[in-house]
Structure 1
Amino acid sequence: MEITDDKLLKIALVTSLIGLIGLIAFTPTIEVKEVDIKDINRGMIDEEVSIKGVITDVAQSSSKTSYFLTVNDGEAQIQLIIFESQVAEIESKNLDIDSFKNHKVQVVGTVTQYNSEMELILSRGDSLRIVS
């Protein structure tokens, strides 16, 4: 059997379509791992995680475009960074970032490290929500 350019193109197209269908089928089932704040470590950098805790402090950046929230789960705390695009998304829902203070929240964010401290960067504007 001789492999021609035409046959190779057909094989590549079929393989690509199978891969795309697999991605579409399995993407909704991928869940973010829920962790305790104390368990977040350098091995999780660039990983998306979910945490629960109380917002104990809200600070705005000097440029007034970003926010720094301290999330405490009773055992540990971590800094949550909300950049300008997520701030706009949150405020478009008539929510004020300061209103999250002293409320228990669930956060989905990406683990990063800044000045040897672990931090979370908010994934999307709807990734910060108040829970009971």
Structure 2
Amino acid sequence: MNFSMSENGFTGHLPFGDLQISSNEEYGFRPYQLLISSLAVCSGGVMRKVLDKMRMSFEDIQIEVKEVVRNDEEAGRVEKVHLHFIITGAIKEEKMPRIMELMRKNCSMVQSVKDSIEIVETFEIR
């Protein structure tokens, strides 16, 4: 991975392609959006693996970011993120606390920030 300065931010040169990053949304992804995306998608990927290993039938997982709390007095530091998982499928609700626990425990992004960002995870089954 490497990053080079561009007129309005930086370009990340990654194996899958270039990623435009800027503090201005008009020119690229904002750094905090990438942080939140990493938390959401890592968690969703782990949830998917857990559901597969438990042999639970599901068709879809949607992740909604319900809330992001930032502290403007500390450079816009992210203090809290609320991720809401919407699972479509024949999921047993009584298994969800264990699924959520395993998801949190095995998501490397959540584990990386758990002592500095409050992560709230909720779910619904459709």
Normalized against structure 1, the TM-score is what?
0.20
Greater share of strand: 2
